[in-house]
Amino acid sequence: MGQEEPPRPQWDNKIQYLLTSIGFAVGLGNIWRFPYLCQIYGGGAFLIPYLIALVFEGLPLLYLEMAVGQRFRKGSIGVWNSISPYLGGVGIASMVVSFLVGMFYNTILAWVLWYFFNSFQEPLPWSQCPINDNFTEYNLECKKSTPVNYFWYRETLNITPDIGISGSLQWKMVICLASAWTVVYICFIKGINSMGKAVYVTATFPYLVLTIFLVRALTLPGATDGLVYLFTPKWDVLMNPQVWLDAATQIFFSLSVAFGGLIAFASYSEEKNNCERDALVVGIINSATSLYASISIFSILGFKANNAFNACVDENIIALTNHFEWPDQNITAQNYDYWEKYLNLTYPVEFAEVRLEDCDLNDFLDQSASGTGLAFIVFTEAVLSMPGSQVWAFLFFVMLFSLGLSSMFGNLEGVLTPINDLKLVPKWLPNEALTGLICLFTFAISLIFTLGSGNYWVEVFNGYVGSVPLLIIAFFEIFGVIYVYGMKNFSDDIYYMTGSRPNIYWKVCWMVISPLLLLTVLVAYVILQAQKHPTYPSWNPLYFEFPKTEPKPYPDWVFAIIVLLSSVPVISIPLVALYKLTCWGVRRYSKKRDLSPYENHGFDSDLQEYKRQGV
């Protein structure tokens, strides 16, 4: 008799499950990617392709993953092996992607910790340039750029001017990275028991901070300008195919489907549970969070743009006052437009000699940034102008850490659950030790991101591990469930779990619309990437347009790594299918050979039976 399987762990309650799923779906991309897309793609107009992608691509995929995880009670590898042995590679691909994403994702949390620790200083360290080594003037690199840029690129990253120049380990970043992995391990030490407790804080605290930011931001001068800019639609951008592609990829990656984490979380829920309602709750809250965060972010960006516009006008006023030798306070910000037109008409020659800046509020609002540029440069610069800047910096980086920590739970679960389900480790090794070994191993590899070139490698991993592989995995997930496992079997499973069968909307999306959308996005993405050699922005103080970043093409050896990062995670899908097909062919051939009429094995066995019976 084999040993009885231990019961599968379960969430303490439904709230834990929903908060964990929401925390995994709602991540840093909701804060620094969605607002950026709204900014560059016409504000409110971008919501149209975004919502279409949510309805026909995001929600069906989310529902499917939650349903199969809940029904089969296994992690990603176990689920796809149960559906078909030929699809076992899909689960392996999800596990590999979760591992690779978790590896660089926690580096971002290390950067957040570094800024968090520095938020307690007065004044904030990114508010002014440091003195040079000779103590004679301010640092030259900082003077050429800004204190905010200098603190990010030099004090934090100590970045090299080229991805091919690795530089040395930045020990302050190594310590922050070790701290980030330690926090993840502590929250995960007891599996879903400890993680379920942690999400009460990590999944809810960001909403509290966003609300505080929103209330404060709406009272700042210029907040209205930012909100008007956000919600004023530019309908002509909808004719650009890139808008639709970015909307589809944003909703896809924002929901964190295809990582395997949602399947693992669903496997710990009750077997009879309304997973359709859960998917709708998680999907709608995720998108609502993106919109809610955008209101807070654009209110603050409007405040920043208003300050930059006023500073530009003040400089022009000083230039005009000095050139025409007029008394101070004669030209003010309130009457500047009048004086500018008057002087241009009255003294056109002299007016042309004055070097005036072009002060346009929309130009300052158009200055877009996403990702680390929004969090560590644009937002930190805006915080400097807010009264009580230390408090706002503290709240902002605690919020980012909470968001990232919740997402890390899903990435780590997407690795650990398949390992446990496959029984790849001996039973005597406790789960706490296995989790510690995985965290330690991942930390050791992720030290490459703490080198001087680490930021460039984070961008490589972020841009290519979480793009094509996830689209391919998601396509095979839908194909495997609907066309291998069967729509009827899946519908019966949903009826067993929820008491009702999926309606026509879900069926049409799963059978036709979602697979076609995924294929279209995948093909379009690959075509767009193939049309140009990938480049990266380099921070090079010797660049003639410095402090602008220098666009550089990736070297051939880095391009080869990019190809590997885009293909290796999903190579298991065809390899496992080919291996299983080969094994099936060998077994079939062996069976035919055993039944061959030219062999005497059957006659010999009959003869032995007759002899035994004495015939």
If DSSP states are collapsed to H, E and C, what string results for 302-351? HHHHHHHHHHHHHHHHHHHHHHHCCCCCCCCCCCHHHHHHHHHHHCHHHH
pLDDT, position 150? 93
Residues of the chain with pLDDT under 50: 1-2, 598, 600-607, 609-615
Distance of CA 241 to the CA centre of its chain: 22
Within 8 A by CB and 6+ apart from 500, the residues are 494
**Residue 5 exposed, middle or buried by CB count within 10 Å (0-12, 13-18, 19+):** exposed
pTM of this prediction?
Answer: 0.89
**542 is written with which tokens?**
């010797």
SS3 538: strand
Residue where the block lists tokens 């407790």: 197
**326 is written with which tokens?**
């007029």
**Long-range CB pairs of 532-541, under 8 A, 24+ apart, other chains included:** 533/559, 534/463, 534/559, 534/562, 536/163, 536/456, 536/459, 536/460, 538/161, 538/162, 538/163, 538/456, 539/153, 539/159, 539/161, 540/161, 540/162, 541/141, 541/144, 541/161
pLDDT, position 6? 67
pLDDT, position 21? 94
Task: Quick: pLDDT tens for 430-457.
Answer: 889 999 999 999 999 999 999 999 999 9
CB atoms closer than 10 angstroms to residue 599? 11
Within 8 A by CB and 6+ apart from 598, the residues are none
pLDDT, position 603? 45
**569 is written with which tokens?**
């995670």
